[in-house]
Amino acid sequence: MINFTIMKKSTLQQICFVILIIGIILFFLWSKLVLLSLTLLIITDTVTTQFSSIRLKKILSRNVFNILKYTYYILLPLVLAIFIRTFFFDIYFVPSSSMEQTLFPNDYVLVDKVSYGAKVPKRIQEIPVIGSVFKSQGVLLSYDLYKPLKAFKQFKREDIVVFKSTEENDVFLIKRIIGLPSDTLKIIDSKVFINNTLLKEHDFYCYNYIDSISNGGKRIKTLSNKEFKNLDTKDQKTIFKNVREIPSKSSVLFPYPYSHEKKWTRDNYGELIIPKKGMAIILDNERFKIYKNIIQNFENEVFEVLENETKVYTFKNNYYFMMGDNRHNSIDSRFYGLVHECYIQGQVIVSF
């Protein structure tokens, strides 16, 4: 009976070993990461057949073996946490009200990374779990942060995603994808048009309204489209959307100074062509101002387009335009610009 139990346990371990080995092979074919795949192989052996543990126990002294064993037990949860959060799923904190009424400050979101091609960190500072330990003040902003793996799905318009800030290397943002690569985006009186087609206004989108109060004064209140629709007709007539017609001196829009020269505002913006990989755009001196920063920072090309000069430039990467659902209280692509595809960590699948 004892021998049968031992044989059954051994067979189960071997089956688990084979299944996990197949998984490691598939992971290697996807990631091409040799060292990490070998590490996973060692972990697989220690939790199944324990072949390497038995061999080490025979050739090492008891004290050395125990030191290695307990070090391994301490590091194993950390390695698995980094592995899962880098390649498969991660949890992020919602820092602001820019996505109300969809997500709220202090919410947490679970993000699917694997479906959209995990982004392998190129710097130790970008590694989940341990990266924050190595961050230091005064480090110059870097743009070459990730190596993308093959994606199994493509991002769609209106997906909510987490992405790295283009202005601060240690900040992640949560917004909704509004503009896809090759789209032409324009905002008129706070309404978004994509390729000259009005984008659907959802009930959960929020705007600031100017509300007249009894003493003759005015106040700003934020309402979702649903909340505005539910107001009495009388109340709807006493408030109006705070559409910004004149550029604000306190907020600099992307791409400055072009947006300021064209009198773009958060509610009247564009039109703006969002580059797609392989897409050629004719750049004159004015249009070059729109794309200069992403060409230099993300495309690694340095050139100028002078007055009365044009240049055809073919983009090497895909870019996205992000907006918060709380449209008048969101710092998004209207302010910091287009988001490189490598910066998008994944899609939000649940909040809690």
Query: pLDDT 10s digit of each residue in the chain, 352 long?
Result: 445 455 455 788 888 889 999 999 999 999 999 999 999 999 999 888 888 888 888 898 999 989 999 999 999 999 999 999 999 999 999 989 999 999 999 999 999 999 999 999 999 999 999 998 887 665 568 899 999 999 999 999 999 999 999 888 889 999 999 999 999 999 999 999 999 999 999 999 999 999 877 666 788 999 999 999 999 988 888 899 999 988 877 779 999 999 988 999 999 999 999 999 999 999 999 999 999 999 999 999 999 999 889 999 999 999 999 999 999 999 999 999 999 999 999 999 999 9
Q: Compute, in degrees rounded to 10, the torsion defined by CA atoms 86, 89, 94, 100.
A: 140
In the chain, CATH 2.10.109.10 sits at 90-199+249-351
Q: Is the bond preceding residue 257 a cis peptide, omega within 30 degrees? A: yes
Q: What is the structure's pLDDT at 246?
A: 87
Q: What is the structure's pLDDT at 263?
A: 93
Q: What is the structure's pLDDT at 293?
A: 94
Q: What CA–CA distance (Å, rounded) separates 157 from 75?
A: 40
Contact at 8 Å (CB) between 119 and 345? Answer: yes
Coil, helix or strand at residue 247: coil
Q: What is the structure's pLDDT at 132?
A: 86
pLDDT > 90 fraction of the chain, expressed in percent and rounded: 77
C-alpha distances (whole Å) from 94 to each of 99, 152, 161, 217, 297 are 9, 26, 12, 34, 27
Coil, helix or strand at residue 347: strand
Coil, helix or strand at residue 152: coil
Q: What is the structure's pLDDT at 4?
A: 47
Give the predicted TM-score (pTM) of the model.
0.91
According to CATH, the topology of domain 90-199+249-351 is: Umud Fragment, subunit A (2.10.109)
Contact at 8 Å (CB) between 337 and 166? Answer: yes
Give the dihedral sign, CA 98/104/107/111.
negative
